Amino acid sequence: MSKPAIQISGLRKTYGKVVAVDGLDLEIETGEIFGLLGPNGAGKTTTIATILGVSRPTGGSVTVFGLDSVRSARKIRAMTGYVMQQIALDRYLTGRENCRLHGELFGLTGANRDQRVEEVLAWADLLDAAGRVVNTYSGGMMRRLDLAISMLHQPRLIVLDEPTLGLDIETRRKLWALIGRMKAQGVTILLTTHYLEEASRLCDRVGIMHKGKLVGLGPPEDLKRDVVGELHQLQVTLSGSIALDGLNLPVRPERENGHLVFNAAPERLWETLGILQHTLPEEIQMVSYDQPTLDDVFLKLTNSEVRA
Amino acid sequence: MTAAVARETSFSRASLALTKRWLWRLRREPMGIIAALIQPAIWLILFGNLFQNGVAGAEGNYIAFMTAGVVVMTVFNGSMSGGVEILFDRESKMFERLVAAPIPPLAVMTSRFGFVLGLTAIQSTIIFLVSAALGVETASGIGGYLLIVLTGMLLGVGILGLSTALAFGLSNHGPFFAISSFISLPLIFASNALAPIENMPGWLQTVARLNPMSYAISNVRELMLEGYNWPVLGTTVAVLLAFDAVMLTICLWTMRRALS
> Tell me, what CATH number does A135's domain have?
3.40.50.300
Lay out the sheet containing A59-64: strands in order across. Answer: A18-28, A6-15, A59-64, A67-68
**Are residues A16 and A48 both part of a single domain?**
yes
**Are residues A214 and A80 both part of a single domain?**
yes
Can you tell me the distance from the alpha carbon of B130 to that of B152, in angstroms, rounded to the nearest whole number?
17
- Whether ipTM exceeds 0.90: no
Task: Judge whether A286 lies within some domain.
Answer: yes
CB A253, CB A260: distance < 8 Å:
yes
**Are residues A127 and A166 both part of a single domain?**
yes
pTM recorded for the entire structure:
0.80
Task: Judge whether A305 lies within some domain.
Answer: no
CB B116, CB B82: distance < 8 Å:
yes
Beta-carbon contacts of A61 under 8 Å, excluding residues fewer than 6 positions away, are A8, A9, A10, A11, A68, A69
Q: How confident is the model at residue A308 (pLDDT cuts 50, 70, 90)?
A: very low
Average pLDDT value for chain A: 88
pLDDT in tens, A29-51: 999 999 999 888 889 989 999 99
pLDDT in tens, A209-262: 988 999 889 998 888 777 766 668 888 998 877 777 778 888 888 888 888 898
Residue numbers of the domain that contains A134: 4-225
Instruction: Measure A213 CA to nearest chain B CA, in Å.
Output: 22
**Are residues A244 and A197 both part of a single domain?**
no
Number of domains in chain A: 2
**Are residues A14 and A77 both part of a single domain?**
yes
Closest of A112, A111, A138, A109 to residue A124, by C-alpha: A138
> In the listed set A190, A209, A225, which residue is the last one of a domain according to the structure?
A225
The distance of Cα B52 from the centroid of its chain, to the nearest Å, equals 26
**Are residues A262 and A181 both part of a single domain?**
no
Can you tell me the distance from the alpha carbon of B107 to that of B120, in angstroms, rounded to the nearest whole number?
20
Number of domains in chain B: 1
The CATH code of the domain that includes A287 is: 3.30.70
Instruction: Measure B37 CA to nearest chain A CA, in Å.
Output: 21
Taking the CB of residue B219, how many other CB atoms lie within 10 A of it?
28
Can you tell me the distance from the alpha carbon of B246 to that of B244, in angstroms, rounded to the nearest whole number?
5
**Are residues A102 and A164 both part of a single domain?**
yes
Of the CA atoms within 13 Å of residue B243, those in its CB half-sphere come to: 23
Task: Judge whether A302 lies within some domain.
Answer: no
**Are residues A60 and A31 both part of a single domain?**
yes
Instruction: Measure A150 CA to nearest chain B CA, in Å.
Output: 10
Beta-carbon contacts of B24 under 8 Å, excluding residues fewer than 6 positions away, are A93, A97, A101
What are the residues of chain B with a beta carbon less than 8 Å away from any beta carbon of chain A?
1-3, 6-9, 13-14, 16-18, 20-21, 24-25, 28, 92-94, 96-104, 259-260
CB contact under 8 A, A105 and B9: yes
**Are residues A17 and A120 both part of a single domain?**
yes
Closest of A152, A169, A155 to residue A100, by C-alpha: A152
**Are residues A208 and A252 both part of a single domain?**
no
**Are residues A99 and A177 both part of a single domain?**
yes
CB contact under 8 A, B101 and A101: no
Residue numbers of the domain that contains B191: 3-259
The predicted pLDDT at position A175 comes to 84
Can you tell me the distance from the alpha carbon of A49 to that of B100, in angstroms, rounded to the nearest whole number?
9
Can you tell me the distance from the alpha carbon of B121 to that of B160, in angstroms, rounded to the nearest whole number?
14
Task: Judge whether A306 lies within some domain.
Answer: no
Can you tell me the distance from the alpha carbon of A102 to that of A43, in angstroms, rounded to the nearest whole number?
28
Contact status of A2 with chain B (Cβ, < 8 Å):
no
**Are residues A79 and A196 both part of a single domain?**
yes
